[in-house]
Amino acid sequence: MTAVGDKRIVATQTLLLEDGEVGKFDVSADGFTLPVQVRFRSPNSPETEGTWVLEDGVLHLEFTGWRNPRGSSFGKAKRIGDFRGVPLGFNLAHQRLGELNCATLQFYLGGIYE
């Protein structure tokens, strides 16, 4: 088992995405599979935002205004919801490389989220 603090890592994915391009992968753990779609858009937006919505069994992650060439991330892991009564969360490390978004996402089971 690999963990970060009190959270068990169940998946790590790194994607290189153009603005508007959709990256797709599955997170599998403990007998479940969660399809995930990731998209970055509007890097010049004045606000840096991230949204996540579970729709028709697919987790949609969308990020706006992420443009730092030195890198950025959430300060702490974000909770998506619960899976069989256990918290499910994720974190993101992002770097803007010219016109590309280099994003590494980690997904977690368990732990405490603020």
Note whether residue 114 is domain-resident: no
Is residue 82 included in any domain, yes or no?
A: yes
Q: Dump pLDDT digits (tens) for 23-32.
A: 999 999 888 8
Is residue 79 a part of any domain in this protein?
Answer: yes
Which residue reads 């919801």 in tokens? 81
Record the tokens describing residue 28, joined without a space: 């599998």
d(CA 95, CA 13): 14
Number of domains in the chain: 1
Q: Has residue 52 been placed in a domain?
A: yes
**pTM of the predicted structure, to 2 decimals:** 0.93
Nearest to 87 by CA among 11, 8, 13: 8
Task: Give which of 65, 20, 55 is closest to 34, Cα–Cα.
Answer: 55
The per-residue pLDDT of the chain, averaged, comes to 95
Report residue 114's pLDDT band, with 50, 70 and 90 as the boundaries.
Answer: confident
What is the domain extent for residue 80? 3-109
- The tens digit of pLDDT for each residue in 63-100 reads 999 999 999 999 999 999 988 899 999 999 999 999 99
Give the integer Cα–Cα distance in Å for 67 and 87: 29
